[in-house]
């Protein structure tokens, strides 16, 4: 009897020890995940077939089974695919049901997040002999995908304000993507000023006169909240603001898009990725090798995000991570290779091996991906009406030669292990450990993000951490109070321009938990 009691006590002690280390959002707390497939989150104009037509936008939603929480953070995970459908793009990936996407969503949901895996509008011309056509159609494909991702976020904000079906904490939203989805996620967090799409490399010189490849009069504004010939607004009364973005592969159109006050970024990247540059370089068509556009990958993105200084050099968007403590093995590993750029996890993959029989191996680009080769071969043959599926599968494995579910899940172990502690801090969730030995100026309780800045219209205010905005005051350069909004008690607020003249202003933001944040605003 005594031995039985001792055995029971031992099991209780073990259970207590396990529970004491388990923590929602940082570790997997739920064993089951409920998936609701093909939820319509909007409707917009697609150009995949060459003829613009309105189409429904679908997503899969993952929720922890049995969860009773009523305000849960949301993670949006965007799939890869070279902005073309799977198989059409010559690859087995390119859909919200890709193996790596499903695995990422399941991992987040088991930690207590609600997760959305949306499809987005696809379509561009990678095989054109004209660089202007390749560049222009790709940039517009990315632009439409950004609008769709923002629409997805607004869907949940509208749900919160109406039926509250998904019980989302709209002040705690992250957007991330794999591969092509990484391009979209990075642009989501940074592309917010018209000048960004007017850089020289984004100008179509084949037009007379030359003009930006992305025409907002046709494609709509950055959020997609106005009606144009190829954009339909969805849930336009809600904001598209989020608290952080992350990319697993992919790149940003230009590092000049990154400005102080934008959201924190966490990036994962294979250092020798042949398709999306790790630093700054050419984006090429994977199947032809043709040049499309110059872009900057995770190394240069996180180098800029971590800049500190004065003036335009004072970026410091990852300040919240520098003000927190991460003692996990994934951080240790990242710090061995990331040159001190907080939020950057470089994957140093093996050098290419011997040929697989269909061309030389290339450096690995997305080792977290895996697929069913038999199914891919059959679908490729069916789509093309050929028997070339085996060759197509071999070409895909040239950059992932030991592709398997076990390998992909190991990479996702690392992605989740490095990302989640930082996501907890960026979203203001329980479990973030502050660096009390040296907290920087932008702390978890007082950091206020202001974007876009400079701005040509309205300006968004968003608080990082457990705090709310109570009052916003705006002063002109003479010190005259020109605007005052009180009684807000919100983490997200839009300051309406309403006739304010162009120039420099000082805004003072009074917070619920004490403190006043003062920042400069430029209206153009």
- Residue 14 placed within a domain: no
Q: Among 393, 426, 459, identify where a domain stops.
A: 426
Question: Given the structure tokens 């660096």, which residue do they identify?
Answer: 435
Buried/exposed code over 348-360 (b: 16+ C-beta within 10 A; e: otherwise): ebeebeeeeeeee
* pLDDT at residue 465, rounded to an integer: 60
CA atoms within 13 A on the CB side of 273: 31
Shared domain for 228 and 136, answered yes or no, is yes
Within a domain: 435: no
DSSP 3-state of 246: strand
Pair (409, 501) in one structural domain: no
Domain assignment of residue 8, yes or no:
no
Indicate whether 161 and 64 sit together in one domain.
yes
What residues does 175 pair with on adjacent strands? 76, 245
28 and 145 part of one domain: yes
Give domain status of residue 4, yes or no. no
- Rounded to the nearest 5°, which phi and psi values hold at 380? -65, -45
Residue among 232, 44, 194 at smallest CA distance from 122:
44
Cα–Cα distance between 99 and 91 in angstroms, integer?
13
**Position 108 in a domain:** yes
- pLDDT of the chain along its 524 residues, tens only? 444 444 344 334 333 333 335 799 999 999 999 999 999 999 999 999 889 999 999 999 999 999 999 999 999 999 999 999 999 999 999 999 999 999 999 999 999 999 999 999 999 999 999 999 999 999 999 999 999 999 999 999 999 999 999 999 999 999 999 999 999 999 999 999 999 999 999 999 999 999 999 999 999 999 999 999 999 999 999 999 999 999 999 999 999 999 999 999 999 999 999 999 999 999 998 878 899 999 999 999 999 999 987 777 789 999 999 889 898 999 999 999 999 899 999 999 999 998 888 989 999 999 999 999 999 999 999 999 999 999 999 999 999 999 999 999 999 999 999 999 999 999 999 999 887 543 333 333 447 778 788 888 888 887 766 577 888 988 887 778 889 998 888 877 888 888 899 888 889 888 876 677 888 888 88
Long-range contacts of 300-304, Cβ-Cβ distance < 8 Å, separation of 24 or more: 300/252, 300/255, 301/186, 301/247, 301/251, 301/252, 301/255, 301/258, 301/265, 301/267, 302/265, 302/267, 302/338, 302/341, 302/342, 302/343, 302/344, 303/339, 303/341, 304/255, 304/258
Q: Residue 73 has which token pair? A: 């953070």
The domain boundary residue, chosen from 394, 426, 458: 426
State residue 149 phi and psi, 5-degree precision: -60, -40
Q: Are 152 and 39 in contact (CB under 8 A)?
A: no
Strands 114-118 and 53-64: antiparallel
> What CATH number has the domain bearing residue 102?
3.40.50.1820
CA–CA dist 315, 293 (Å, integer): 25
108 and 246 part of one domain: yes
Tell whether 213 and 108 lie within a shared domain.
Answer: yes
What pTM does this model have?
0.81
Residues 158 and 301 in one domain: yes
- Give the number of domains in the chain: 2
Which helix (H) or strand (E) covers residue 76, if one does? strand 72-78
Same domain, 452 and 420: no
Per the structure, the complete domain to which residue 218 belongs is given by: 19-350+403-426
CA distance 467 to 427: 11
Say which CATH number the domain at 500 has.
2.60.40.1930
C-alpha atoms less than 13 angstroms from C-alpha of 308 in its C-beta half-sphere:
9
Tell me, yes or no, whether 344 and 457 share the same domain. Answer: no
What secondary structure letter does DSSP report for 400?
A: S
Is 156 contained in some domain?
yes
Contacts of 253 (CB under 8 A, 6+ apart): 139, 142, 187, 191, 196, 199, 202, 293, 295, 296
Is the residue at 149 inside a domain? yes
Q: How many Å apart are CA 39 and CA 160, to the nearest integer? A: 16
In the numeric block, which tokens belong to residue 290? Answer: 């043709």
* Partner residues linked to 34 by β-bridges: 63
Q: pLDDT at position 109, please?
A: 98
264, part of any domain: yes
3-state SS, 410-474, equals HHHHHHHHHHHHHHHHHCCCCCCCECCCCCCCCCCCCCEEEECCCECCCEEEEECCCCCEEEEEE
Beta bridge partners of 508: 473, 518
CA distance 52 to 353: 44
CB contact at 8 A, 510 and 470: yes
Measuring CA to CA, how many Å separate 112 from each of 33, 68, 70, 396? 10, 10, 11, 34
Q: Final residue of a domain: which of 426, 457, 484?
A: 426
Q: Residue 158 has which token pair?
A: 């509208």
- C-alpha 266/C-alpha 283 separation (Å) is 21
CB 247 within 8 A of CB 267: yes
**With the CA atoms of 225, 293, 261 and 306 taken in that order, what torsion angle do they form, in degrees rounded to the nearest 10?**
150
Nearest CA to 335 out of 310, 314, 306, 367 is that of 306
CA dihedral (399, 347, 124, 90) in degrees, to 10, reads 20
* Distance from C-alpha of 155 to C-alpha of 414, rounded to nearest angstrom: 30
Q: Identify whether residues 125 and 248 lie together within a single domain.
A: yes
Same domain, 338 and 467: no
Same domain, 421 and 461: no
């Amino acid at each position: 009897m005594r031995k039985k009691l001792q055995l029971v006590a031992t099991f209780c002690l073990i259970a207590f020890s396990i529970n004491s280390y388990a923590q929602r959002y940082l570790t997997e707390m739920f064993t089951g995940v409920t998936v609701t497939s093909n939820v319509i989150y909007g409707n917009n104009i697609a150009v995949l077939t060459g003829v613009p037509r309105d189409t429904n936008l679908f997503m899969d939603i993952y929720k922890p089974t049995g969860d009773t929480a009523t305000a849960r953070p949301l993670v949006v995970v965007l799939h890869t695919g070279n902005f073309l459908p799977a198989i059409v793009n010559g690859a087995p990936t390119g859909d919200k049901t890709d193996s790596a996407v499903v695995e990422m969503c399941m991992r987040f949901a088991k930690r207590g997040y609600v997760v959305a895996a949306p499809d987005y509008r696809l379509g561009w011309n990678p095989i054109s002999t004209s660089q202007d056509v390749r560049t222009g159609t790709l940039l517009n494909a990315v632009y439409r995908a950004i609008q769709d991702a923002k629409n997805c976020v607004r869907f949940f904000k509208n749900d919160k304000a109406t039926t509250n079906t998904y019980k989302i904490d709209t002040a705690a939203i992250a957007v991330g993507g794999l591969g092509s989805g990484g391009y979209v996620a990075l642009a989501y967090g940074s592309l917010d000023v018209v000048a960004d799409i007017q850089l020289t490399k984004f100008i179509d010189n084949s037009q007379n006169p030359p003009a930006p490849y992305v025409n907002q009069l046709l494609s709509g504004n950055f959020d997609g909240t106005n009606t144009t010939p190829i954009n339909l607004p969805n849930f336009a009364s809600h904001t598209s603001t989020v608290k952080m973005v992350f990319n697993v592969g992919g790149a940003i159109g230009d590092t000049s898009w990154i400005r102080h006050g934008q959201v924190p970024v966490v990036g994962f990247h294979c250092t020798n990725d042949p398709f999306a540059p790790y630093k700054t370089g050419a984006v090429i068509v994977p199947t032809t090798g043709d040049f499309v556009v110059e872009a900057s990958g995770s190394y240069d993105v996180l180098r800029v995000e971590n800049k500190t200084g004065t003036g335009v050099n004072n970026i410091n968007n990852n300040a919240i991570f520098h003000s927190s403590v991460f003692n996990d093995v994934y951080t240790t590993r990242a710090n061995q290779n990331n040159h001190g750029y907080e939020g950057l996890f470089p994957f140093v993959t093996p050098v290419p091996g011997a040929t697989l029989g269909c061309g030389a191996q290339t450096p690995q680009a997305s080792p977290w991906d895996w697929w069913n080769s038999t199914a891919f071969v059959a679908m490729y043959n069916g789509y093309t009406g050929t028997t070339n599926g085996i060759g197509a599968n071999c070409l895909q494995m040239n950059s992932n030669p030991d592709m398997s579910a076990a390998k992909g899940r190991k990479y996702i172990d690392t992605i989740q292990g490095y990302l989640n502690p930082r996501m907890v801090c960026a979203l203001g969730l329980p479990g973030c450990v502050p660096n009390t030995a040296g907290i920087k100026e932008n702390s978890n309780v007082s950091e206020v993000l202001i974007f876009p800045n400079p701005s040509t219209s309205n300006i968004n205010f968003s608080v990082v951490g457990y705090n709310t905005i109570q009052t916003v005051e705006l002063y002109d350069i003479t010190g005259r109070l020109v605007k005052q909004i009180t009684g807000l008690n919100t983490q997200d607020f839009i300051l309406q321009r309403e006739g304010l003249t162009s120039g420099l202003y000082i805004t003072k933001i009074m917070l619920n938990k004490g403190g006043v944040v003062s920042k400069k605003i430029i209206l153009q």
